[in-house]
Amino acid sequence: MSKTRVKKVVAPVEPVVSPMAWFAGRGWTPFDFQHEAWTCYADGESGLIHASTGTGKTYAAYFGPLLEALGEEQPTEPPPLRVLWLTPLRALSSDTAASLAAPLAALGLNWDVGLRTGDTKASARKKQKERLPTVLVTTPESLSLLLTHADAREKFAGLRSVVVDEWHELLSSKRGVLTELALARLRTWSPGLRVWGLSATLGNTATAASVLLGVGRTPKLIRGRLPKQTVIDSVIPPKVERFPWAGHLGLTLLPQVVAAIDSGRSALVFTNTRSQTEIWYQAILSAKPAWAGQMALHHGSLDREVRDWVEDQLRAGTMRCVVCTSSLDLGVDFSPVDRVIQVGSPKGVARLMQRAGRSGHQPGGVSRVTCVPTNALELVEVAAARMAANRGAIEAREPYSKPLDVLAQHVVSTALAGGFFPDELLREVRTTHAYQALTDDEWGWVLDFAVRGGESLRAYPDFRRVEVIDGLYVVNDKRTAMRHRMSVGTIASEASVQVRFLKGGRLGSVEETFAARLKAGDRFTFAGRVLEFIRVHDMTAWVKLSKKPANTVPRWAGGRMPLSTELASAVREQLDLASRGELDSPELAALAPVLHLQAKWSRVPTPGQFLVERLETREGFHHFLFPFEGRLAHEGLAALVAHRLSLKMPVTLTMAVNDYGFELLAPTALSLSESDLRELLDPANLEADILASLNTAELAKRQFREVARVAGLVSTGYPGASKSAKQVQASSGLFYDVFAEYDPGNLLLKQARREVLERQFEQARLLAALERLRAAEFVITTPPRPTPLAFPLLVERIRGTLSSESLADRVKRMTAEFERAADGNAVKKPRGR
Amino acid sequence: MDLLGQTLTLLPQRAAYWHERETLLIADPHFGKPEAFRAQSLPVPTGTTSAALARLDAAFAAVRVRRLVVLGDFWHASTSRTEEVLAELVAWRARHDELAIELVLGNHDRGVGRLPQEWDAVSHGGPVADFPFVFAHFPDPSDDGYVLCGHLHPAVVLTGRGRQRLKLPGFWFGPRVGVLPAFGEFTGGAVVSPMPGDRVFVVAGDQVVPVP
């Protein structure tokens, strides 16, 4: 099993051969792009190699350093750390280490390969404390942690090259920023350092390369082999009229999905959420009980050993089918896989192509992905994704710009590693792409935050994290050091509890909020089994197997992916085709009855039109607006419109969004005309109004959760935490309130707001959308009942609220409604959980 | 409101006033909570102590108070007793020097030590009866009377037309036990599930509103 593979990577003894002979011995001939990468490396260049997975990127980057070493005298002992290999997922690290170790002995290189991740055992850590291996495979978080040690500079002195694997996965995240800062540190120590990124092809590959290398360096861009041919098709529901419109799970298509799995040897079934993997796994198993033992589940909340086992079985080809989330998007090839099924919207072109690329690794193989729509409208998305993929319209990933929470963490890390002088560190930090425009004021604030806890004029008494001794910023307090090391990293996660059998045996983890709702005797599906909940104790949910059916499925809060700009625009085009009756793809043809109904009750909008539907139901007064800009931009638009509306009259609105549009729901009469709507959607004053809307819409509060954790504000609980640790746990919402009230100038608050604007609302996209809508023809309809387009919004349970009524008025209105309802024997009542 | 023939006024400052005894009741102020965070090098701004005391002053301005009873968790942790917090508390006491103060110790008070000397307060290690009520920290029914207590930090969820949802701190009076909202601001709330017949009030801005 993988655990043993991880521990020791020893290649068998074989005669020493030349690199070309080694390739030939495997039946390979180096590709042109690999030769190109090796030459560039020899010339001292840095850059980015981009190609789809499974096309030889690893050795393109790795043989540069190997060829260089072969030209040198061979030492008798393995040399100190020389090649650092960063991977975004620790799950990938052991496979990567194995392929990096494979050629060493044959080439006669006396090198060793080691791993350093959160899973690395204490004994290995102790050894690495003395000496790091020649090639070290690690993650951005573990690298940042290694760099907090006082002797790091010495240990990294012999480093010549860094390879960042799957850079596209890190690029658009704070983990990418963490990587940028670590690379800046390493470049300061070794000015000649060569940095190479490996990436899938992106809409902005050149930007990706320059972010990796930092300011003032010119990256080499090397394009790998062309991708395999990709086929995108869908399971067409036999009867679209009866198809669920809402985001139900599309289980009606189970027979077709089972048939698709049956037609291949080994299939991956991707779903968009972890809950759905559990549901689909159960459904497929009950349809095909004979597949028990050849079926598995894979998602991020399952225990590592379970996941490792599943991956090994996939490689061995013993798996009929694995139901998974994006947890299997990355990583080494599962060659036996010949069928890929995507349940639910693919959300993006690149993502769908990457998943398709998981199949067809056999020689001459074709990548194929079959999409299973979970609502009828997703058929349009499949047709749109195919059109965009054929055109090569692949999404860009935008890098972060100066997130101060990550910088605050880096400052404490650097203070831990023997300390720093601010001017020197500032110069280094500004060489990164993320912080090139960092102002002196912002830098001063981050230093103050580390030393005093807040801005200099309002020093927080008794607070001490970083101390200044003769101009040197250091951490002396052992407790501070320990807590900081425990919280290094940027992945925000919900507080989670382990799931374990009473008899022992770990299954994985569920969120604390889910566990807290369970009562003894409740049965839930997890890791593909029905478990009976017994109790929660010490951050562990104790369970036993149950023979009865489950009555609940765990839900994991996770950001829901928005439809990408590329895909959203392709969807608008597809609808246009449909509205003109050009139903030439199987998806659009199948959708004809739904589109017909939409046209009959309301309208199928063309790209030049903006559709608004008004409707009154028992719940209140609905406006459905359909810009087709993806859910993030819609969240921003909904907040903007609701805010502007609330300025005109005291009103409380709830908002629901999806990828096609958004809904405003008012409890009291509301009917917006075209001129009202044009005023509410005016692009002028966008930024000021959006910022103002954030204060009421609670969105900044949500974003603050991540910012607060990265900056080290919120200390997450851990099993066995002492009482004193529990006394300093507070929700980030409380933090947000207390900061907003008593330290409103806090830059972390500002950052949270900025992140909402740029990341959540995609401000640029929002502005473009408003400009587009201004030129559009407004079509306002009053359909007799919810239309196919409106229905999914109507049933969306997750809602934002924005109010300009006083709290007391809201409560009185709600309680008065309740009184009325009670008189009429209706069912609504105040609810406690 | 009327409770066992006594008159209680629920104040939006998250306090309850017992008219017949001219007594103000508060629960769970958690003084010095930000200080406890800072002692563990987690930055939290100052200002909550003076804001809390100002809220207490506002309550005093609304009703005539001779006695203040704190239903537990006066302190947050042992690291909460900083000089700054003590100085503010002592200064506040000096402005209300005729007030009688009583504290029922809560779980957070354990090991923290007593109230500031200058407060000249009476501490009770457990529930204390004051007919027809029993002042307590924990919401356990008592044979000695109707229990007024804290500890839970109750919050109530309201829902309304248009799929609206509000979570607000509240007062919760059951058949034998009445729970006050946490007086402290930097404290969370636990959503409670009232039983039929319970009386529930939420603190909505500057008003206390009964929930049917």
Nearest CB to A807; choose among B165, B185, B204: B204
Nearest CB to A815; choose among B39, B51, B209: B209
Compare all CA atoms of chain A with the CA of B194 and give the residue at the minimum distance: A832
Q: Does residue B185 belong to the interface with chain A, where contact is any CB pair within 8 Å? A: yes
Alpha-carbon gap, residue B144 to B202, rounded angstroms: 28
Q: Does residue A461 belong to the interface with chain B, where contact is any CB pair within 8 Å? A: yes
What values do phi and psi take at A164, rounded to 5? -105, 110
Count other C-beta atoms under 10 Å from residue B47's C-beta. Answer: 16
User: What interhelical angle do B83-95 and B48-62 show, nearest 10?
Assistant: 10
- pLDDT beyond 70 at A784: yes
A520-552 pLDDT tens trace: 888 888 888 888 988 877 668 889 888 888 777
* Amino acid letter, A85: W
Distance from CA of B191 to the nearest CA of A (A): 6
Distance from CA of B157 to the nearest CA of A (A): 6
Alpha-carbon gap, residue A55 to A58, rounded angstroms: 9
- pLDDT beyond 90 at A251: no
Chain A residues close to B85, C-beta within 8 Å: none
What count of Cα atoms within 13 Å lies in the side-chain half-sphere of residue A478?
0
How large is the average pLDDT for residues B4-28?
94
pLDDT at residue A284, as a whole number:
92
Alpha-carbon gap, residue A782 to A792, rounded angstroms: 17
Question: CA triplet A437, A440, A445: central angle to 5 degrees?
Answer: 110
- pLDDT beyond 50 at B107: yes
Tokens of B199: 């009386």
Distance from CA of A709 to the nearest CA of B (A): 11
Q: CA A795, A797, A800, A802 torsion: positive or negative?
A: positive
- pLDDT beyond 80 at A419: yes
Of A774, A802, A759, A781, which is closest to residue A630 (Cα–Cα)? A759
Strands B23-26 and A800-803: unpaired
Most confident of A27-41, A232-246, A784-798, B35-49: A27-41
Q: How many residues does chain B have?
A: 212
* Residue labelled with tokens 């917090």: B85
> Between the CA of residue A608 and those of A183, A576, A604, A767, what are the distances in Å?
47, 9, 11, 17
Give yes or no for a contact between A350 and A558, defined as CB atoms under 8 angstroms apart. Answer: no
pLDDT at residue A488, as a whole number:
75
| DSSP assigned state of B31 | B
- Could A461 and B38 be called an inter-chain contact, meaning their C-beta atoms sit closer than 8 Å? yes
Edge-to-edge strand list for the sheet holding A220-223:
A113-116, A135-138, A83-86, A161-164, A194-199, A47-50, A220-223
3 state DSSP class of B11 = strand
Tokens of A323: 């139901």
Nearest CB to B161; choose among A667, A727, A830: A667
> Between the CA of residue A247 and those of A251, A261, A331, what are the distances in Å?
11, 23, 30
Range scoring the smallest mean pLDDT among A242-251, A412-421, A812-821, B162-171: A242-251
Q: Does residue A727 belong to the interface with chain B, where contact is any CB pair within 8 Å? A: yes
Distance from CA of B13 to the nearest CA of A (A): 14
pLDDT at residue A258, as a whole number:
93
Chain B residues close to A462, C-beta within 8 Å: 35, 38-39, 82
Of A212, A211, A565, which is closest to residue A396 (Cα–Cα)? A565
The answer for B 134-163 residues in CB contact with A (under 8 A) is: 156-163
pLDDT at residue A804, as a whole number:
67
**CB proximity list for A694: less than 8 A, separation 6 or greater:** A639, A700, A753, A756, A757
Alpha-carbon gap, residue A754 to B201, rounded angstroms: 37
How large is the average pLDDT for residues B128-132?
92
Distance from CA of A174 to the nearest CA of B (A): 21
pLDDT at residue A794, as a whole number:
81
* Amino acid letter, A623: H
| More confident site: A814 or A696 | A814
- pLDDT beyond 70 at A287: yes
- Could A810 and B82 be called an inter-chain contact, meaning their C-beta atoms sit closer than 8 Å? no
* Amino acid letter, A133: P
Neighbour-count burial of A469, counting CB atoms closer than 10 A to its CB (0-12 exposed, 13-18 middle, 19+ buried):
exposed
Question: CA triplet A450, A455, A461: central angle to 5 degrees?
Answer: 75
- Could B158 and A465 be called an inter-chain contact, meaning their C-beta atoms sit closer than 8 Å? no
Q: How many residues does chain A have?
A: 833
What count of Cα atoms within 13 Å lies in the side-chain half-sphere of residue A362?
10
- Could B193 and A833 be called an inter-chain contact, meaning their C-beta atoms sit closer than 8 Å? yes
Count other C-beta atoms under 10 Å from residue A771's C-beta. Answer: 11
Most confident of A584-593, A683-692, B125-134: B125-134
Q: Does residue A459 belong to the interface with chain B, where contact is any CB pair within 8 Å? A: no
A501-504: long-range pairs with CB below 8 Å, 24+: A501/A542, A501/A543, A501/A544, A501/A545, A502/A534, A502/A542, A502/A543, A502/A544, A503/A544
- pLDDT beyond 80 at A823: no
Tokens of A276: 């759905």
Alpha-carbon gap, residue A608 to A573, rounded angstroms: 10
CA torsion A419→A422→A423→A427, rounded to 10°?
80
Distance from CA of B152 to the nearest CA of A (A): 14
- Could A453 and B38 be called an inter-chain contact, meaning their C-beta atoms sit closer than 8 Å? yes
- Could A817 and B46 be called an inter-chain contact, meaning their C-beta atoms sit closer than 8 Å? no
pLDDT at residue A492, as a whole number:
47
Alpha-carbon gap, residue A448 to A436, rounded angstroms: 20
Tokens of A291: 């597949």
Nearest CB to A727; choose among B77, B159, B212: B77
Task: For residue A444, give the H/E element and its range.
Answer: helix A440-451
DSSP string covering A342-366: EES----HHHHHHHHTTS--STT--
Average pLDDT, chain A: 83
Give yes or no for a contact between B26 and B70, defined as CB atoms under 8 angstroms apart. Answer: yes
Percentage above 90 pLDDT, chain A: 31
User: What is the interface size between A and B, counted as CB pairs within 8 Å?
Assistant: 168
pLDDT at residue A398, as a whole number:
85
Chain A residues close to B39, C-beta within 8 Å: 462
- pLDDT beyond 60 at A459: no
Tokens of A572: 């608008």
Chain A residues close to B194, C-beta within 8 Å: 830, 832
Most confident of A117-131, A699-713, B112-126: A117-131
| DSSP assigned state of A751 | H
Alpha-carbon gap, residue A510 to A443, rounded angstroms: 38
3 state DSSP class of A419 = coil
pLDDT at residue A329, as a whole number:
79
Q: Does residue A555 belong to the interface with chain B, where contact is any CB pair within 8 Å? A: no
Q: CA A401, A402, A406, A407 torsion: positive or negative?
A: positive
Distance from CA of A785 to the nearest CA of B (A): 17
* Residue labelled with tokens 């609808």: A575
3 state DSSP class of A556 = coil
pLDDT at residue B102, as a whole number:
92
Task: For residue A370, give the H/E element and its range.
Answer: strand A367-372
- pLDDT beyond 90 at A562: no
Tokens of B171: 């007062």
How large is the average pLDDT for residues A102-107?
92
- Could A815 and B212 be called an inter-chain contact, meaning their C-beta atoms sit closer than 8 Å? yes
Nearest CB to A620; choose among B46, B159, B161: B161
- Could B157 and A831 be called an inter-chain contact, meaning their C-beta atoms sit closer than 8 Å? yes
Most confident of A404-408, A590-594, A687-691: A404-408
Task: For residue B178, give the H/E element and its range.
Answer: strand B177-179
The answer for A 593-622 residues in CB contact with B (under 8 A) is: 619-621
Largest CA distance in chain A: 92
Alpha-carbon gap, residue A473 to A806, rounded angstroms: 48
- Could B162 and A654 be called an inter-chain contact, meaning their C-beta atoms sit closer than 8 Å? yes
Chain A residues close to B158, C-beta within 8 Å: 811, 814-815, 830-831
pLDDT at residue A457, as a whole number:
43
How large is the average pLDDT for residues B36-60?
83
Percentage above 70 pLDDT, chain A: 84
Q: Any idea where the domains of chain A sit in the sequence? A: 2-223, 230-391, 404-487, 496-545, 602-818
DSSP string covering A178-192: HHHHHHHHHHHH-TT
Tokens of A127: 């050894």
| Helix, strand, coil in percent for chain B, rounding step 5 | 20, 35, 45
pLDDT at residue A656, as a whole number:
86
Q: Any idea where the domains of chain B sit in the sequence? A: 2-153+179-186
How large is the average pLDDT for residues A412-429?
94
| CATH for B2-153+179-186 (3.40.50, 2.40.128, 2.60.40, 3.60.21) | 3.60.21
pLDDT at residue A247, as a whole number:
47
The answer for A 728-747 residues in CB contact with B (under 8 A) is: 728, 730-731, 734-735, 737-739, 741-743, 746
* Chain Cα centroid distance, residue A54: 22
Chain A residues close to B201, C-beta within 8 Å: none
Alpha-carbon gap, residue A162 to A168, rounded angstroms: 16
| More confident site: B156 or A614 | A614
pLDDT at residue A54, as a whole number:
65
Question: How much is the pTM?
Answer: 0.77
pLDDT at residue A5, as a whole number:
42
Give yes or no for a contact between A746 and A739, defined as CB atoms under 8 angstroms apart. Answer: yes
Q: CA A516, A517, A523, A529 torsion: positive or negative?
A: negative
How large is the average pLDDT for residues A672-700?
82
Tokens of A452: 């005093």
Chain A residues close to B40, C-beta within 8 Å: 479, 483, 715, 724-725, 728
Of A660, A103, A611, which is closest to residue A347 (Cα–Cα)? A660
Q: Architecture of A2-223 per CATH? A: 3-Layer(aba) Sandwich (3.40)
A133-174 pLDDT tens trace: 999 999 999 999 999 998 999 999 999 999 999 898 899 888
In this prediction, residue A118 has a pLDDT band, given cuts at 50, 70 and 90, of confident
* Chain Cα centroid distance, residue B74: 9
Chain B residues close to A822, C-beta within 8 Å: 212
- Could B36 and A460 be called an inter-chain contact, meaning their C-beta atoms sit closer than 8 Å? no
For the domain A230-391, what is the CATH code? 3.40.50.300
The answer for A 746-805 residues in CB contact with B (under 8 A) is: 746, 799, 801
- pLDDT beyond 60 at A654: yes
- pLDDT beyond 90 at A727: no
- Could B47 and A799 be called an inter-chain contact, meaning their C-beta atoms sit closer than 8 Å? no
How large is the average pLDDT for residues A285-297?
90
- Could B47 and A817 be called an inter-chain contact, meaning their C-beta atoms sit closer than 8 Å? no
- Could B35 and A746 be called an inter-chain contact, meaning their C-beta atoms sit closer than 8 Å? no
A612-653 pLDDT tens trace: 999 998 888 999 999 988 888 888 888 889 889 888 888 888
| More confident site: A461 or A3 | A461
Alpha-carbon gap, residue A448 to A456, rounded angstroms: 6
What count of Cα atoms within 13 Å lies in the side-chain half-sphere of residue B10?
25
Q: Does residue B202 belong to the interface with chain A, where contact is any CB pair within 8 Å? A: yes
- pLDDT beyond 70 at A22: yes
* Amino acid letter, A638: A
pLDDT at residue A827, as a whole number:
38
Q: Does residue B37 belong to the interface with chain A, where contact is any CB pair within 8 Å? A: yes
Nearest CB to B160; choose among A463, A667, A743: A667
Q: Which residues of A87-114 are buried (b: 16+ CB within 10 A; e: fewer)?
A: bbbbbbbbbbbbebbbbbbbbebebbbb
Edge-to-edge strand list for the sheet holding A800-803:
A777-781, A609-617, A620-626, A662-666, A652-657, A800-803
pLDDT at residue A717, as a whole number:
45
How large is the average pLDDT for residues A752-768?
78
Neighbour-count burial of A354, counting CB atoms closer than 10 A to its CB (0-12 exposed, 13-18 middle, 19+ buried):
buried
For an interface test with B, give the residue of A460, A484, A797 to mutate (most B CBs within 10 A): A460
pLDDT at residue A635, as a whole number:
84
In this prediction, residue A366 has a pLDDT band, given cuts at 50, 70 and 90, of confident
Alpha-carbon gap, residue A769 to A436, rounded angstroms: 29
Distance from CA of A723 to the nearest CA of B (A): 10
For an interface test with A, give the residue of B44, B48, B80, B110 to mutate (most A CBs within 10 A): B44
In this prediction, residue A828 has a pLDDT band, given cuts at 50, 70 and 90, of very low
Nearest CB to B211; choose among A665, A813, A815: A815
Range scoring the smallest mean pLDDT among A577-581, A666-670, A688-692, A819-823: A819-823
